Amino acid sequence: MAKLYIDVDKIYNNAKRVVEISKQQGIDITGVVKQCDADCKVAKAMVKAGCTSLAVSRTRQAKKLKNAGIEVPIWLIRVPAISELEEVIEYTDIVLITELKTIKEINKLCIKKNKILKLVLMLEIGDLREGFYPDEELINSVKEIMQLSNVVIEGIGMNASCYGSVIPSIENTSKLVSVGKKVELVLGRKLNIYSGGNTTSLILVKDKTIPKEINNLRVGESILLARDLTYLWKKPIENTYTDTFVLKAEVIEVKEKPSKPIGETFYDAFGKQPNFEDEGIRKRALVSVGKVDFLDDQGLIPKDKGIKVLGSSTDYLILDIHNADKDINVGDWLEFEITFACMYSVSTSKDIKIIYKERL
């Protein structure tokens, strides 16, 4: 069985660094734990490091955190479905939301259960995922929400660098603030939360260009892995670790084989037509994990030098080890750092044993 080593202490360190640089500009950090399936040890490390709240994308994850005795507010950062509102009200404290119809249904249930739910209204700033659009839709919705007895508009938020790959900027974060000020005029009071995005918004924090009104960021990747700002944006947060989640799997075949398939090719098992370069005979290894475990094989980074990920099938990872800096044999175990793209699959695979590394 493959193993996933989670270094809780390094995650705590990463969270503490993110909290420290953000606090200098009056920004609270909501630690996003959806990608590790709300692992309770990871969640508690984030809280210990100073995250003022935690965020999930599934109500079962919120339930998991509540049952673990975690007392900070739990955000649901995926817009809720009407069919799951019972669980939303039971296990979450703050909900990102974009639909007036859903808000009215929440209010009805909250009245029945004698509860109040806090809302963060999401504004579409161009990434084209969730968000009220155009701006006037959000303002007009506020006027109706004000008439509801058991929901409270806690704040306003935005999303970037996800579906549309839109970069968080002075312009789009300032737009969030501008719309937020209009909301405050309608409400006749200040908003408690201006949530200015996710990990990539930390670039504005590092550059000290984020608007002073932004007082919250929802951060997962920079705490859990710290890879995106380090390797994609070339703006690392100092003294953070990228080897926080390490997958260890066993080599089950080592052979010298042609680098290009032999015979006529068509589609692979996943409906794709991969291209293969003819590099002659190469030494290859099969490893005992596959797409069912990690989803995206390009999200695996071999820790040993000279190893190249060629691809994968449902149950196999295929490596080129021709130039590996050590001799690799059947029965050896290889280690891989992982990216955000494959973290959820690795964290939830029933065929991967989780082992925690804790020293603090």
Active site amino acids: 34
- Coil, strand or helix at 352: strand
Which DSSP string do the residues of 41-54 spell out, in sequence order? HHHHHHHHHT-SEE
| Cβ–Cβ under 8 Å, residues 223 and 46 | yes
DSSP assignment of 121-151 equals EEEP-SS-SS-BSSHHHHHHHHHHHTT-SSE
Position 95: which residue type?
Answer: V
> Residue 140 contacts by C-beta under 8 Å, 6 or more apart in sequence?
none
| 312 burial level (CB within 10 Å; 0-12, 13-18, 19+) | buried
> 338: part of which helix (H) or strand (E)?
strand 333-338
Pull the structure tokens for residue 312.
């994968």
Rounded to an integer, what distance in angstroms lies between the CA atom of residue 104 and that of residue 84?
14
